[in-house]
């Protein structure tokens, strides 16, 4: 039996994710995590789903009560908290726009959706919820690209398995992961998006709310898709006109969802997006024209969600299919 209040009342740290808070609570109280979950939520499925995303209220309620945490603080550890800020509607299943996919397989993970900054882990000692957003691909504080796997053996990260902050497959300490190079413009754009997460808007594009901004980011990355030759020409034009490396690679010639991409590819997409959003919409129009984009071509198999993106595409690019 557990006491009503745990000896160490582990409250969520600023921006901490639920899975990190839960695992850290067991760790700091010296209880094996699976035992702790078994004692508090007997037989409740916890780790065979995306805990940060589902944000089960029963888990939140008990964990908050055991650690004397306020409900408001507890609710900030889950993805659902960002409904109306990052995405319009929270989805129970399927891909949630802007949220990375973990590839949950029983109690393990097959996808690379859980990212981390080794220096943040070292200095602050927990996993941040924002590392689960697909547009967060770098640490703006430590100026490096995020890791999305064990730096030693390449296994996807399972916060809940093995030793706290270690790889459960090879025991490597995640805090010792080497530095990864980043694209400075991708980081600049990310800083603005981090501001939007807190409802601070200061980007030089005409968006009224954070949702409009995140929709615009989605449409930009969608237009950078890889399925057709002209999308490649579009990316080449960006490199020629706005800088960047034509060697940046993409995983497949078909358009993959950003939410399921590895962090490296998401970072490269963000680097391209940062360039077309600079001097908006002029860089975008120049690159799209050079790649022979037309409105009909861009929207041939998807519909934009951002009214600003649609306005620019329909106003400045010829409409032909």
DSSP assignments along 57-103, one per residue: HHHHHHHHHHTT--HHHHHTTSGGGGBTTTBSS--SSSPPTTB----
Among 39-47, 56-64, 139-147, 177-185, which window interacts with Zn ion (CB under 5 A)?
A: 139-147
Select from 119, 233, 239, 278 the one that contacts Zn ion (CB under 5 A): 119
How far apart (Å, rounded) are the C-alpha atoms in residues 85 and 99?
Answer: 13
Q: Which is nearer to Zn ion, 39 or 153 (CB)?
A: 153
Does 153 interact with Zn ion (rule: CB under 5 A)? yes
Please identify which residue in 31, 75, 172, 278 interacts with Zn ion, judged by CB under 5 A.
Answer: 172
- For Zn ion, the binding residue among 34, 73, 76, 152 (CB under 5 A) is 152
Binding mask 13-52 for Zn ion (x = CB under 5 A): ----------------------------------------
Beta strands in the chain (DSSP E): 104-105, 108-109, 138-139, 144-145
CB 147 within 8 A of CB 115: yes
Q: Which of 150, 274, 285, 312 touches Zn ion (CB under 5 A)?
A: 150
Q: Is 187 in the site for Zn ion (CB under 5 A)?
A: no
Q: Does 140 bind Zn ion (CB under 5 A)?
A: no
Residue 157 binding Zn ion, by CB under 5 A: no
As measured in angstroms, the least distance from the Cβ of 24 to Zn ion is 17
Burial (CB < 10 A; 0-12, 13-18, 19+), residue 5, is exposed
Residue from 5, 8, 68, 170 binding Zn ion (CB under 5 A): 170
Shortest Å distance, C-beta 177 to Zn ion: 10
Q: Does 169 bind Zn ion (CB under 5 A)?
A: yes
Q: How far apart are CA 24 and CA 257, in angstroms?
A: 31
Distance CA 262, CA 278 (A): 25
**Under a CB-based contact definition with an 8 Å cutoff, are residues 177 and 142 in contact?**
no
Contact between 120 and Zn ion per CB under 5 A: yes
Tell which residue, 183, 158, 184, has the closest CA to residue 171: 158
For residues 180 and 142, give the distance between their C-alpha atoms in angstroms, rounded to a whole number: 11
Quick check: 122 binds Zn ion (CB under 5 A)?
no
Q: Which range of residues in 128-136, 140-148, 179-187, 271-279 is near Zn ion by CB under 5 A? A: 140-148
Residues forming contacts to Zn ion in the complex (CB under 5 A) are 117, 119-120, 139, 141-142, 150, 152-153, 155, 167, 169-170, 172
């Amino acid at each position: 039996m557990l006491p009503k209040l745990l000896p160490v009342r582990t409250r969520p740290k600023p921006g901490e994710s639920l899975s990190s808070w839960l695992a850290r609570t067991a760790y700091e109280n010296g209880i094996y995590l699976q035992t702790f979950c078994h004692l508090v939520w007997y037989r409740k499925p916890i780790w065979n789903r995306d805990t940060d995303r589902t944000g089960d209220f029963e888990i939140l309620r008990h964990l908050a009560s055991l650690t004397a945490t306020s409900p408001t603080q507890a609710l900030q550890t889950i993805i659902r908290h960002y409904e109306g800020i990052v995405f319009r509607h929270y989805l129970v299943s399927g891909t949630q726009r802007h949220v990375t996919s973990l590839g949950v397989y029983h109690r393990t993970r097959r996808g690379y959706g859980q990212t981390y900054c080794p220096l943040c882990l070292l200095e602050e000692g927990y996993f941040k919820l924002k590392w689960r957003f697909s547009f967060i691909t770098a640490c703006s504080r430590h100026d490096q690209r995020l890791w999305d796997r064990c730096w030693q053996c390449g296994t996807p990260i399972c916060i809940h398995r093995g030793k706290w902050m270690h790889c459960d497959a090879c025991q490597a300490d995640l805090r010792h992961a080497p530095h990864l190079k980043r694209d400075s413009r991708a980081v600049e754009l990310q800083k603005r998006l981090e501001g939007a997460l807190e409802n601070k808007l200061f980007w030089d594009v005409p968006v009224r709310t954070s949702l409009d901004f995140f929709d615009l980011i989605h449409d930009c990355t969608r237009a950078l898709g890889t399925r057709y030759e002209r999308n490649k020409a579009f990316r080449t034009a960006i490199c020629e006109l706005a800088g960047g490396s034509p060697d940046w690679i993409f995983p497949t010639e078909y358009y993959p969802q950003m939410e399921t991409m590895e962090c490296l590819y998401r970072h490269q997409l963000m680097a391209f997006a940062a360039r077309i959003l600079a001097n908006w919409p002029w860089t975008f129009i120049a690159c799209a024209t050079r790649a022979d984009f037309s409105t009909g071509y861009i929207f041939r198999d998807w519909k934009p969600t951002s009214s600003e993106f649609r306005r620019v595409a329909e106003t400045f690019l010829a409409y032909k299919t």
